[in-house]
Amino acid sequence: MGYDTRNPSFTFRFGEYRHGKLSKLAKLNKMPVVDFVRSKILDPFIDGDLVPKAKDDLILEMSKLKLEKIKAEIEYLKLKNRYMETFGTPLSSAATRILKPQLITTSQTSQITMSPYDAKNNIIQCCECSQLFRWENKDEFLKQKYEFELHMTNKHGRAFTYLEKTVLTDLSFSGASI
Ligand SMILES: [Zn+2]
């Protein structure tokens, strides 16, 4: 196999603007244009080291937001650990609610936009753990509404969402659960 076959030359024309741009970049790198194109663009591209430019600003923006979210979560964990180390006791659930970054993932959003009241069976169901709250009469109904609120604070460490609050405020006794 001859030298020319093993090392074929490659020729193409390039527009003035792009050529000018490449010449400038090559000059900055103190290289002849051809060497610059080969060693800084073509070789890295073929080796898979040249990262394609992000499709649009939105994708870039999303990555930035994801990074910020991760940073915020790390900060929160650090804070929790520091608190535990300093005071020898975990953060209270009230403090946790305030400090935890209020960044909601898709699955959490779908849970939170679910109503806790199941009208078909006339019961309250916790959107997070599916625990049921049933009643036979009005006294029990009022008690169970209160129990559900306590459940949310004690078991899930949070207050009602706007939807949960609205549903429960509007919910009045209409007979025993099924
Ligand atoms: Zn629950």
Q: Tell me what pLDDT residue 111 has.
A: 47
Distance between Cα 160 and ligand 1 center (Å): 11
Helix axes 162-170, 138-156, angle to 10 degrees: 170
Q: Cβ(97)–Cβ(152) under 8 Å?
A: no
pLDDT of res. 104: 47
Q: Measured in angstroms, how far is the CA atom of residue 126 from the centroid of ligand 1? A: 5
Q: What strand order describes the sheet that includes 123-125? A: 117-118, 123-125, 132-133
Distance 154 CA to ligand 1 centre (A): 9
Q: What is the pTM of this model?
A: 0.39
Q: Which residues contact 149 (CB under 8 A, 6 or more apart)?
A: 160, 168
Under 8 Å CB-to-CB from 129, ≥6 apart: which residues? Answer: 155, 156
**How many angstroms is it from 139 CA to the middle of ligand 1?**
22
Whole-number pLDDT of residue 64: 83
CA of 51 to the centre of ligand 1 (A): 46
Taking only the tens of pLDDT, the chain with its 178 residues reads 788 889 888 888 889 999 999 999 999 999 999 999 999 998 988 888 887 665 667 777 778 888 888 888 888 888 888 888 888 888 777 777 766 655 444 444 444 567 889 888 999 999 888 899 999 999 999 999 999 999 998 998 888 888 888 888 889 999 999 8
- What spacing in Å lies between the alpha carbon of 174 and ligand 1's midpoint? 23
Q: Give me ligand 1 centre to Cα 153, in Å.
A: 9
CA distance 60 to 144: 48
**Residue 97 near residue 91, CB atoms below 8 Å:** no
63, 83 Cβ separation under 8 angstroms:
no
pLDDT at res. 145: 93
Give pLDDT, residue 167: 86
Ligand 1 centre distance from Cα of residue 127 (Å):
6
Q: Enumerate residues 6+ apart whose C-beta is below 8 A from 84.
A: 90, 91
CA of residue 66 to ligand 1 center, whole Å: 28
The Å distance, Cα 28 to ligand 1 centre, comes to 63
